[in-house]
Structure 1
């Protein structure tokens, strides 16, 4: 496991020495110059030796040493002597052996701040006793060459360069070998001044420690003590870089801060950190430092990357960039924390794959400062085994800062094994506005399984952060996404901040096995809203989406837009106010923009409820797409319900779908009161058809002492096919049903429209306005009934305004009578009334009188009598000119002849008509001689009377 500062007694120091003196792996190598620089042989470095000489000039800030071999024996000390003007001490190894550092490397003047560069392309390792005691920064690298701007190179292969001409700071490291050699660190060396304090590799405050080579490994040495390896740069910078082949790595020296940069095409090597604390935390009131790791892959095992500030200065940043994977596991922690008024640092991890397996990333503000932010960017990101990513502002200070942002960019994001992403605000805020978000964007999918969570919480006056999720597929299995306002004291005033919102943009949402998406408040602040947008489907199985208030704050709203919503096995979507919620509070509202809702299970449904004095919210049902109807499928007693079981008002249900609404199956849409508060109304409006069928019910009820609600329907057509529209009341009032229908009310199967009163309550009213009521032959035992009945109270009133009623009439609606009845009776009270206002037809209305005089004949165009026209005289059997005149006799004129004499048959004689038909002139023209000629036009060729003229006269 990680640790921060490991402090041990003198017995630890003695035990370390004893272990390594007795170890057969003790290295006794010495420091041997190669003669290319004026560096004398220092002799044995046990107990110590001094490196003198080297190449430099009085005006050159660089001092160069060259060695055939450079190693520090166990418990030995190597001291680099230098003048006060030296800025950089550069030591190379030109031989074939690696450098094994199992003792102390020291510079002669800690106040001089000279940087020490150790370059050995054969490899560098730090043993358990390997340590540093230098004034400036320390750089160990297995590169072949150090570049000094345009002035030249300091190479381990070419030793003939003019070193005195290299007067600028080093600018780059060149790896010319195919496989750069590794760097290994096993140091648990004690602090040079405080031997009971284990410091490992350490530089002075504000300085940099850089390890740059091939693969880099931090691990415990065999037979060493079971303690973590520390590597420290208080308020400075620790940078680890691994390269795999020929590369150029740039170096920037900015005062005391040294940093590396890599070309985009650099092929990187692997870095493994085991049982190590890399710590750049600030001392006292000073700023914390930065940690940067660049590699092909990083494995962080039971280790820590720590950058904390303890005063007014800021915490530092931690940056990890790999080409392949980052694994943070076995209790490893990456943390940047501000414990006072300083701002927390940022954590950035960029890789192809990021895996946390019992690992944590944390940005925290424990004082008045703001927390930093966390940014993860990878192809896949997974959290397992109680891993966490968190941003906290948690302080007992009078004023606290803002919480930091968590931003995750990936293709696949998964949490399992009780892992969590969390953001927390508590204490007295300097800024009440929400300062950050949990923003997760996954191009393929997001999954939470096995009690994992994504949470946003406020326990103070600052607003909680929002949770924003964008992915094509979201799966939550026995896990949760939640936003909450939680009070910490004895009253609600401790948590006055507003809850964060949960915004999900996705195509598919699946909640399984007690999964949750929740937004709650137990304080003075309002709970945040939950919204799911642009989904193709949202499915819940034994899971919930809910908002809740149990205190002074209002519950959050729920807004879901999807093509299809499916809930089963006790799943529900709810907005609730508990019995401890204040009377001034209100539970949240639903807005559901959905084309199809499938609900299955007795405990399954959509619920807006209050248990106490607070008011319940609204359930609004709309179609997801313009031009499409809404269908709700119920099974096994599923419900859509707005209810009150306390003194608060019950919620309303409003369905506004222009294209049509269908409720089908065994279930109900209802508003209920089981307490003293009144039930809400149900308002259904559509320009199309409203269908209730196959056992579905729409009900407003007052089952306690509260009033029932009103059921109002406006539709083009209402069809009940074994469906019910119900209003009932036990002790209160109301419970009315109002139907305003443009075309027709159609009753089929065993349907019922009922306003029913129990006990001494009076029956409600049923008002129906429609052109037609059509009740078909019943299929069930009771028939299709319309009733407003009562037990001991008075019956209600049924008022019907319709043109015509078909198949239904006023009659006692008795169970099992299999008739279609209209009933407003009372069992023990006064019967109600049935008012049926039907259309009274007047046969004269709208009829124009027939003319009693003949019209003037039109002028004929001179049709010949030989055409196909006919004239038929019916004699005395014609109709009168208007309905009020008597019909004429159909008598027939008959000639009288003696008995036995037959009527002579007329003889038809065919005669030829020689009379020329005169044709009326229809126009005139002038011929070639100037004469006026009268013309006749051709009549309509479709007429049976035709005249054809080929000339004029």
Structure 2
């Protein structure tokens, strides 16, 4: 039934009379036929103009006209939003439909489209034709009704209405291969659906004057046009699936994808299209998903491209995926599409993910993430590519200024077939931070695996960054669980820190396992065409602490090779570097540590061991090599031949050997609980180490005052021999120092050259202490003590009494220690010699601390610092060493208090002074000790303030 009314109203369809004056205020209700006679035809375009255009529930508006019409172009000129809650259809085959209403358009629950061509709806002010003619909504502007084809939508100002699709599922769709376009200020989909099978969907949200043009490659807009908000919530869907998936293009400001999805499935014998989203910010939440799938043989799925001016944020199990969608048996040779994301910052949180998979000989797609600032994946969020047959897994490329993979999050690639695993490339201009999961050794961050079977090789992992830090069971693992070879791991970093974390290339198959890949670490690695490589530049620092690990271990195959080039390498607190083989006949891998200024091991090991096969080879080239007594370097085999351990030092080192670890670091916990262990000189590694043995004490306890000589000796021959022996001591070569000092002291007549005798004793006793030969110290104590009883005010006597007090302290005899230290302190105060007083006060404070008098010890340490002001280290380096010894003892004692601010200030002062020292063994050992103090402070003071103060240059 067709009703006519000229009564003005906001309901139904009302003509405005701009095309046919006699139709002004004509109202049509019910199921209506809007004939071409009510509009105007020019060429293949049919124009209509309405004051109001609404289609209510159970109503139909049918546009009719000759079959020659290609475009039905309608405008709504009244200031009323159009509500489409019925059927909008056209009886003209293949005609495209354009609906313009600057006051807004709402599609209700019952809205549906039945048109032969494409559908374009907009709140634009005009349509521009391809000959530049313009059809305005405002009837006071140009009245041109062009015969040219529409090419763009235009906005004259920033007052732009919205388009909403509310509770409409499966009805807003066009015929196969056709297009749906929504162009408005904001676009709101709440439980709404748009479908264009094998076609194209365009969505553009605009908030300023400008034009939107559709091109073959996407939506085009002027560069500085302002953009609005696009929201898809409450199970909304955009779908371009078909025999080959269609294309989806979006431009907007803020895009919200909440509990909704964008889908592009290729179901037939055609390749998929592209999903291209260009917005300012993209927020996906609560299973907000983008999916591109291929479900037929021999085809490629569509790609997904996201470009954001600012942020891309996926949270709460939101996903991006490209993959085949079918059983392993009926989907063959299908290649998944690529995924590319570019933004200022990218965040994936709370089990959100990016995946590309392939089955039955198809390749999975490549994944690229590029951010100008930060990329963050947290709380089990992942990036993953995989393959299950002859196809290859896609590559993963990640680039940003800073990259954070926390709570076990991060990228991975795996092959479970004959194809290759994907390579992972990660580049950070500044830092990469990895954080695992408390107590979870499987909380790894970056992985590349070949699966458990007769599969292809795993992909390589290449990482470049200024700093890389991994903590709390974090890790980078390349490995194989079957016969495929593990990938290689290449790290180009300036500073690498592993804290209770792992970098590993593994082969875990019990039998016939593939080879573990190589690990290469430097600041710059150059690869040649023949796959050879050169580590052209070293890292600045590599630190391994708290059970950290760099390994290429294997169960049955040969261990991989580790190549490290770094200026400083610290391996602390049960950490390790290993290329071990734990079963089978494989050979232990090789470890090469080259061109290092300092290698330091504390409670840690370097190993290249094997069971049936031969041990590997370990080669270390360093200017200084520091190793605690319980640290090990081994290259053994239980049933094969032992490997080799080669440690080389430059020609400029003392006796062409290695610097050994310093000085009498006292272990207070052993003093308080039990007697010190006496280390035998025979308890040395069973391997021949080319160079000298490093025999340090523990570094994370109180430190005795260093030896101090009052003056140069007139006897030049003695002075030369003494200087040589003291250099051995200063470099940590205690065995040769002990031998040289004993030879020298045997030539001294104590009755005539007491000053020379005292000087040698002041070095010889600390040397024996460092070697654990405490009993031998008393041979010289018994000889010299009677000679000093009547000369207690002399400085040499004070220093010897102080030395004996420390000797008793190291043997857990606190009573005797206090006896000698009290005498030394009394006469040191009387002497008014600042350095001697500081030396005695430091050892006395150590005794107070061991006696449980923490606060008194702290006061005495501070007094010792005031008594010994810092002296220019270029003129007199020894007092600087003394000053730092006292200062770090003070820091150690203060960790037992809650004075976080002052503890950290003292820490900073010590660090500054150490960094100003010339490069030397003493500087290295002090830095080493400072590193352990930093760990102690961080453990004792669990407060955010520590991050402000603790910036240890070692760790």
Offset of residue 401 of structure 1: 2.8
Superimposed CA distance per residue, residues 109-130 of structure 1 (whole angstroms, 9 cap, x where no aligned partner):
4xx2110000011111101111
2:520 to 536, 559, 582: 559
Is the CA contact (8 Å cut-off) linking 1:423 and 1:456 kept in structure 2? yes
Residue 651 of structure 1, aligned match among 597, 606, 616: 616
> Does 2:570 correspond to 1:598?
yes
* Aligned partner (choices 30, 37, 43) of residue 46 of structure 1: 30
**Residue 613 of structure 2 contacts residue 637 of structure 2 at CA under 8 Å; is this kept in 1?**
no
Task: Name the CA distance, whole Å, in 1 between partners of 2:728 and 2:564.
Answer: 29
In 1: Cα distance, 2:66 partner to 2:116 partner: 13
**Corresponding residue for 1:61?**
44
Q: Which residue of 2 aligns with 1:687?
A: 650
Choose which of 545, 553, 570 in structure 2 pairs with 1:576: 553
Task: Work out whether 1:130 is the aligned partner of 2:93.
Answer: no
Taking the aligned partners of 1:408 and 1:480, their CA distance within structure 2 comes to 22
Q: Which residue of structure 2 lines up, in the alignment, with residue 168 of structure 1? A: 148
- 8 A Cα contact 2:614 2:637, kept in partner: no
- What is the aligned partner in structure 2 of residue 83 from structure 1? 66
1:468–1:503 contact (8 Å) kept in structure 2: yes
Structure 2 residue runs of 5 or longer lacking an equivalent are 1-8, 326-331, 437-442, 523-538, 666-678, 699-723, 744-763, 765-770, 778-955
User: Compared with structure 1, are the counterparts of its residues 589 and 186 closer, same or farther at alpha carbon in structure 2 (3 Å cutoff)?
Assistant: same
**Is the Cα–Cα contact under 8 Å of residues 218 and 276 in structure 1 kept in the other structure?**
no
Return 378-387 or 400-409, whichever deviates more: 400-409
Deviation at 1:622, TM superposition (A): 1.0
Match of 1:370 in 2: 335
Question: Do the aligned partners of 2:489 and 2:518 also contact (CA within 8 Å) in 1?
Answer: yes
- Structure 1 distance, partners of 2:641, 2:120, is 77
Whole-Å Cα distance in 2 between the matches of residues 750 and 148 of structure 1? 85
Counterparts of 2:684 and 2:10, CA distance in 1: 93
Identify the structure with the greater strand proportion.
Answer: 1
Is the 1:746–1:774 contact (alpha carbons within 8 Å) kept by the matching residues of 2? no
Q: Would the aligned equivalents of 1:28 and 1:74 in 2 still touch at CA under 8 Å?
A: no
State the Cα distance separating 1:610 from its structure 2 match.
Answer: 0.8
Structure 1 residue 442: Cα displacement: 0.8
Tell whether the 8 Å contact from 2:620 to 2:646 is kept in structure 1 after alignment: yes
1:409 aligns with 2:374: no
Structure 1 residue 298 and structure 2 residue 255: aligned?
Answer: yes
- SS of the residue aligned with 1:532? strand
Q: Which moved more, 1:271-280 or 1:372-381?
A: 271-280
CA shift for structure 1 position 276: 4.2
TM-superposed CA distance for 1:648, in Å, is 2.5
Question: 1:234: Cα distance to partner?
Answer: 0.6
Q: 1:117 aligns with which of 72, 78, 98?
A: 98
Which residue of structure 2 lines up, in the alignment, with residue 915 of structure 1? none
Q: Does 1:270 align with 2:253?
A: no
Encode CA deviations 1:528-551: one digit per residue, 9 max, x unaligned: 11121131x211111111111023
**In the alignment, which of 193, 197, 207 is matched to residue 230 of structure 1?**
193
SS of residue matched to 2:37: coil
Deviations 1:68-102 (A, max 9, x none): 11010112111111211111000111111111101
Closer, same or farther in 2 for the Cα pair 1:749/1:71, shift >3 Å? Answer: closer
SS at match of 1:775: helix
Q: Decide which of 141, 147, 154 is 2:122's aligned counterpart.
A: 141
- Deviation digits for residues 788-830 of structure 1 (CA, Å, limit 9, x no counterpart): xxxxxxxxxxxxxxxxxx9xxxxxx9988849xxxxxxxxxxx
- Superposed CA offset, 1:21-78 (max 9, x none): xxxxxx9931111122349698654345444424444x71100011111010112111
1:257-293 alpha-carbon deviations (Å, 9 max, x no partner): x95310111111111111244344433xx21111111
- Measured in 2, the distance between the counterparts of 1:544 and 1:235 equals 47
Structure 1: 5+ residue runs without aligned partners? 1-26, 189-197, 221-228, 624-628, 725-742, 755-771, 780-805, 807-812, 820-953
Contact 1:692–1:723, Cα closer than 8 Å, also in 2: no
After TM superposition, the structure 1 = structure 2 runs for residues 331-410 of structure 1, keeping only pairs within 5 Å, are 331-340=287-296, 341-351=298-308, 352-358=310-316, 359-366=318-325, 367-393=332-358, 395=359, 397=360, 399-410=361-372
Alpha-carbon distance between aligned partners in 1 of 2:682 and 2:73, rounded to the nearest angstrom: 88
Shift of 1:649: 2.2
| Equivalent residues of 1:652, 1:671 under 8 A apart | no
Structure 1 match to 2:597: 630
* Distance (whole Å) between structure 2 residues aligned to residue 173 and residue 679 of structure 1: 78
User: d(CA) in 2 for partners of 1:682 and 1:232?
Assistant: 68
- Distance in 2 between the 1:753 and 1:671 partners? 22
Residues 520-573 of structure 1: per-residue CA shift (max 9 Å, x gap): 1012221111121131x2111111111110232110111122211112221121
Rounded Cα–Cα distance in structure 1 between residues aligned with 2:205 and 2:696: 75
Please give the alpha-carbon distance, in whole angstroms, between the structure 1 residues aligned to 2:116 and 2:237. 19
Specify the alignment match of 2:641 in structure 1.
678
Asked if the contact 1:700–1:710 (Cα under 8 Å) also holds between the matched residues in 2, the reply is no
Distance 1:593 1:134, change over 3 A: same
Match of 2:56 in 1: 73
For residues 866-894 of structure 1, what are the alpha-carbon distances to aligned partners after superposition, in whole Å with 9 as ceiling and x for unaligned? Answer: xxxxxxxxxxxxxxxxxxxxxxxxxxxxx
Report the Cα offset of residue 372 of structure 1. 1.6
Task: Give me the whole-angstrom Cα distance separating, in 1, the residues matched to 2:742 and 2:682.
Answer: 25
Q: Is the 8 A contact 2:283 2:312 kept in 1?
A: yes
Measured in 2, the distance between the counterparts of 1:219 and 1:350 equals: 24
Q: Distance in 2 between matches of 1:506 and 1:160?
A: 59
* Helix, strand or coil at the partner of 1:507: strand
Asked if structure 1 preserves the Cα contact closer than 8 Å seen for 2:448 and 2:461, the reply is no
C-alpha distance in 2 between matches for 1:673 and 1:702: 15
| CA deviation vs aligned residue, 1:205-226 (integer Å, no higher than 9, x gap) | 1100000011111114xxxxxx
Instruction: Trace 1:777-792 onto structure 2 (pairs within 5 A).
Output: 777=741
Q: Is the 8 A contact 1:531 1:560 kept in 2?
A: yes
Residue 534 in structure 1 maps to residue 506 in structure 2: no
Q: What's the CA shift for 1:380?
A: 1.1
Q: What is the rounded CA distance, in whole Å, between the counterparts of 1:381 and 1:410 in structure 2?
A: 9
Contact 1:546 1:573 in 2 (8 A): yes
Whole-angstrom distance in 2 between the partners of 1:262 and 1:412: 27
Residue 549 of structure 2 corresponds to residue 549 of structure 1: no
Change (3 A) 1:699 1:390: farther
Relative to structure 1, is the Cα distance of residues 665 and 158 closer, same or farther in structure 2, using a 3 angstrom cutoff?
same
Partner secondary structure for residue 610 of structure 1: coil
Label 1:451 to 1:481 Cα distance change in 2 as closer, same or farther (>3 A): closer
* Greater shift in the superposed pair: 411-420 or 671-680: 671-680
1:892 is matched with none
**Secondary structure of the structure 2 residue equivalent to 1:548:** strand
The answer as to 2:225 corresponding to 1:261 is: no
* Inter-CA distance 701–368: structure 2 relative to 1 (3 Å threshold): farther
C-alpha separation between the residues in 2 aligned to 1:97 and 1:153?
22
- Relative distance call for 1:672 and 1:656 in structure 2 (3 A) is closer
CA distance in 1, matches of 2:541, 2:624: 14
Count, aligned residues: 663
2:608 to 642, 646, 651: 642
Q: CA 1:281 to 1:698, structure 2 compared with 1: closer, same or farther past 3 Å?
A: farther
Q: Does 1:617 align with 2:575?
A: no
Tell me the TM-score normalised to structure 1 length: 0.65
Q: Which residue of 1 aligns with 2:133?
A: 152
SS in structure 2 at match of 1:171: strand
Larger Rg: 1
Cα distance between partner residues in 2 of 1:679 and 1:73: 88
Structure 2 Cα separation of the partners of residues 56 and 28 of structure 1: 24
Question: Cα 1:376–1:410, aligned 2, differ >3 Å: closer, same or farther?
Answer: farther
The answer to whether the Cα contact below 8 Å between 1:56 and 1:163 also exists between their aligned partners in 2 is no
Distance 1:699 1:270 in 2: 76
Stretch of structure 1 that moved more, 675-684 or 61-70: 675-684
User: In the alignment, is residue 469 of structure 1 matched against residue 418 of structure 2?
Assistant: no
The 3 A distance-change label for structure 1 pair 524 and 744 is farther
- Supply the distance in 2 between the matched residues of 1:81 and 1:402 (Cα, whole angstroms): 48
Asked if the contact 1:94/1:157 (under 8 Å) is kept, the reply is yes
